Copies of this chain bind each other. A is one copy, B any other.
Amino acid sequence: MAIAASSSLLLLHHLLLVLASWWRLADAAYIAYNTSGGVVPGKLNVHLVPHTHDDVGWLKTIDQYYVGSNNSIQGACIQNVLDSVVEALLADKSRKFIYVEMVFLDSCSVIILLRFSLVQSSLFEVNLWPLNGGWCMHDEAVVHYIDMIDQTTLGHRFLKQEFDQLPRIGWQIDPFGHSAVQAYLLGAELGFDALYFSRIDYQDREKRKDTKSLEVVWRGSKTLGSSVDIFTGIFPKNYEPPPGGFYFEVNDESPVIQDDPLLFDYNVQERVDDFVAAALSQANITRTDHIMFTMGTDFKYQYANSWFRQMDKFIHYVNKDGRVNVLYSTPSIYTNAKHAANESWPLKTDDFFPYADRAHAYWTGYFTSRPALKGYVRLLSSYYVAARQLEFIKGRSSSGPTTDSLADALAIVQHHDAITGTEKQHVANDYAKRLAIGYAEASKVVESSFACLTESISSSGHCLPVTKFEQCPLLNISYCPPSESDLYAGRSLVVLVYNSLGWMREDIVRIPVVSDSVLVLDHEGKEIESQLLPIKSPSTALRNFYVKAYLGKSPSITPKYWLAFPVTVQPLGFTTYFIKSAKQTGSHAVMSMISSSQGMENSTMEIELGNLKLQFDLDGNKLSHYFNQRSLVKASVEQTYSFYSGDDGSGADPQASGAYVFRPSGKFPIQSEKKVPLTILQGPLLHEVHQQINSWIYQVTRIYKTKEHLEVEFIVGPIPTNDGVGKEVVTQIATTMNTSKTFYTDSNGRDFIKRIRDYRSDWELQVNQPVAGNYYPINLGMYIKDDSTELSVLADRAIGGTSLVDGQVELMLHRRLLHDDSRGVAEALNEVVCVEFECEGLAIQGKLYIRVDPLGEGAHWRRSTGQQIYSPLLIAFSEEHEGNWSNFHITTFSMMDHSYSLPENVALITLQELEDGSVLLRLAHLYEVGEDKDLSKIAYVELKKMFPGRKINITEMNLSANQERAEMEKKKLKWGVESSSTDETIVKGGLVDPSKLVVELGPMEIRTFILNLDKSVTADKNK
A binding-site residues for B, Cβ under 8 Å: 9, 11-12, 15-16, 18-19, 22-28, 30, 61, 63-64, 66-69, 71-72, 75-77, 79-80, 83-84, 87, 107, 109-110, 112-113, 116-117, 250-253, 255-256, 258, 260, 262-265, 302-303, 305-306, 309, 430, 433
Given pairs A76-B251, A107-B262, 18 additional interface contacts (CB within 8 A):
A23-B113, A24-B109, A26-B109, A26-B110, A26-B112, A30-B112, A63-B263, A64-B265, A67-B265, A68-B306, A69-B255, A69-B256, A69-B258, A80-B306, A84-B303, A250-B302, A250-B303, A302-B306
Q: A107 contacts which of B66, B260, B302, B306 (Cβ < 8 Å)? A: B260
CA distance A682 to B112 in the complex (A): 89
User: Which 5 residue pairs of A and B lie closest in terms of their CB atoms, listed nearest first?
Assistant: A75-B251, A303-B303, A27-B109, A63-B263, A26-B109
State the Cβ distance, A603 to closest chain B Cβ, in Å.
58
CA distance A27 to B264 in the complex (A): 41
Q: A256 contacts which of B68, B113, B303, B309 (Cβ < 8 Å)? A: B68
CA distance A252 to B302 in the complex (A): 12
In the complex, the answer to whether A116 meets B26 with C-beta atoms within 8 Å is yes
CA distance A430 to B263 in the complex (A): 11
A-B contact pairs, 22 of them (CB 8 A): A16-B16, A22-B116, A22-B117, A23-B83, A24-B109, A25-B113, A26-B110, A27-B109, A28-B109, A64-B265, A66-B263, A69-B258, A71-B252, A75-B250, A76-B251, A77-B256, A107-B260, A107-B262, A250-B250, A251-B302, A264-B430, A303-B303
Residues of B within 8 A of A306 (CB): 68, 77, 80, 302
CA distance A253 to B73 in the complex (A): 9
Residues of B within 8 A of A263 (CB): 63, 66-67, 107
| A79 closest partner in B (C-beta) | B309
In the complex, the answer to whether B258 meets A67 with C-beta atoms within 8 Å is yes
CA distance A19 to B117 in the complex (A): 10
CA distance A68 to B75 in the complex (A): 20
Residues of B within 8 A of A77 (CB): 250-251, 256, 306
CA distance A112 to B67 in the complex (A): 33
| A19 closest partner in B (C-beta) | B12
CA distance A1020 to B22 in the complex (A): 52
In the complex, the answer to whether A84 meets B27 with C-beta atoms within 8 Å is no
CA distance A306 to B28 in the complex (A): 25
CA distance A9 to B19 in the complex (A): 9
In the complex, the answer to whether A26 meets B303 with C-beta atoms within 8 Å is no
CA distance A61 to B256 in the complex (A): 14
CA distance A116 to B21 in the complex (A): 13
- Which of A18, A75, A251, A263 has the most chain B CB atoms closer than 10 A to its own CB? A251
CA distance A83 to B28 in the complex (A): 12
In the complex, the answer to whether A256 meets B67 with C-beta atoms within 8 Å is yes
Residues of B within 8 A of A27 (CB): 109
Residues of B within 8 A of A71 (CB): 251-253
| A248 closest partner in B (C-beta) | B68
State the Cβ distance, A119 to closest chain B Cβ, in Å.
13
Residues of B within 8 A of A30 (CB): 112
Q: A11 contacts which of B15, B112, B117 (Cβ < 8 Å)? A: B15
Q: A63 contacts which of B68, B255, B265 (Cβ < 8 Å)? A: B265
CA distance A25 to B69 in the complex (A): 21
CA distance A403 to B306 in the complex (A): 35
Residues of B within 8 A of A256 (CB): 67-69, 77
CA distance A255 to B67 in the complex (A): 10
CA distance A15 to B17 in the complex (A): 13
CA distance A251 to B60 in the complex (A): 13
In the complex, the answer to whether A80 meets B12 with C-beta atoms within 8 Å is no
Residues of B within 8 A of A262 (CB): 107
State the Cβ distance, A529 to closest chain B Cβ, in Å.
49
Residues of B within 8 A of A19 (CB): 9, 12, 16
- Which of A71, A117, A262 has the most chain B CB atoms closer than 10 A to its own CB? A71
- Which of A18, A302, A303 has the most chain B CB atoms closer than 10 A to its own CB? A303
In the complex, the answer to whether A109 meets B23 with C-beta atoms within 8 Å is yes
Residues of B within 8 A of A303 (CB): 80, 84, 250, 302-303
Residues of B within 8 A of A250 (CB): 75, 77, 80, 250, 302-303
Residues of B within 8 A of A63 (CB): 258, 263-265
Q: With contacts A305-B84, A306-B77 known, is A110 near B265, CB below 8 A?
A: no
Residues of B within 8 A of A11 (CB): 15
CA distance A375 to B281 in the complex (A): 51
- Which of A19, A30, A66 has the most chain B CB atoms closer than 10 A to its own CB? A19
CA distance A28 to B306 in the complex (A): 25
| A114 closest partner in B (C-beta) | B26
| A111 closest partner in B (C-beta) | B26
In the complex, the answer to whether A61 meets B112 with C-beta atoms within 8 Å is no
| A434 closest partner in B (C-beta) | B264
Q: A265 contacts which of B23, B69, B113 (Cβ < 8 Å)? A: B69
In the complex, the answer to whether B113 meets A26 with C-beta atoms within 8 Å is yes
CA distance A615 to B72 in the complex (A): 69
CA distance A265 to B433 in the complex (A): 13
Residues of B within 8 A of A23 (CB): 83, 109-110, 113
- Which of A69, A76, A309 has the most chain B CB atoms closer than 10 A to its own CB? A69
| A305 closest partner in B (C-beta) | B83
CA distance A898 to B145 in the complex (A): 100
- Which of A9, A23, A28, A30 has the most chain B CB atoms closer than 10 A to its own CB? A23
CA distance A107 to B27 in the complex (A): 9
CA distance A573 to B69 in the complex (A): 68
State the Cβ distance, A92 to closest chain B Cβ, in Å.
13
State the Cβ distance, A105 to closest chain B Cβ, in Å.
13
State the Cβ distance, A500 to closest chain B Cβ, in Å.
30
CA distance A255 to B30 in the complex (A): 40
State the Cβ distance, A436 to closest chain B Cβ, in Å.
13
State the Cβ distance, A8 to closest chain B Cβ, in Å.
10
State the Cβ distance, A676 to closest chain B Cβ, in Å.
45
State the Cβ distance, A6 to closest chain B Cβ, in Å.
11
CA distance A695 to B659 in the complex (A): 66
State the Cβ distance, A424 to closest chain B Cβ, in Å.
15
Residues of B within 8 A of A112 (CB): 26, 30
CA distance A675 to B505 in the complex (A): 114
CA distance A107 to B262 in the complex (A): 9
In the complex, the answer to whether B18 meets A12 with C-beta atoms within 8 Å is yes
Q: A67 contacts which of B64, B113, B260 (Cβ < 8 Å)? A: B260
CA distance A112 to B31 in the complex (A): 12
CA distance A117 to B264 in the complex (A): 27
Q: With contacts A77-B306, A262-B107, A306-B77 known, is A22 near B69, CB below 8 A?
A: no
CA distance A490 to B717 in the complex (A): 108
CA distance A63 to B259 in the complex (A): 11
CA distance A837 to B238 in the complex (A): 42
State the Cβ distance, A177 to closest chain B Cβ, in Å.
31
Residues of B within 8 A of A80 (CB): 250, 303, 305-306
CA distance A113 to B24 in the complex (A): 9
Residues of B within 8 A of A305 (CB): 80, 83-84
CA distance A252 to B76 in the complex (A): 9
Residues of B within 8 A of A116 (CB): 22, 26
Residues of B within 8 A of A309 (CB): 79
CA distance A188 to B4 in the complex (A): 55
| A27 closest partner in B (C-beta) | B109
| A28 closest partner in B (C-beta) | B109
Q: A87 contacts which of B87, B110, B258 (Cβ < 8 Å)? A: B87
Residues of B within 8 A of A109 (CB): 23-24, 26-28
Residues of B within 8 A of A252 (CB): 71, 75
CA distance A69 to B271 in the complex (A): 13
- Which of A11, A22, A63, A67 has the most chain B CB atoms closer than 10 A to its own CB? A67
| A258 closest partner in B (C-beta) | B67
State the Cβ distance, A280 to closest chain B Cβ, in Å.
25
State the Cβ distance, A933 to closest chain B Cβ, in Å.
53
State the Cβ distance, A82 to closest chain B Cβ, in Å.
11
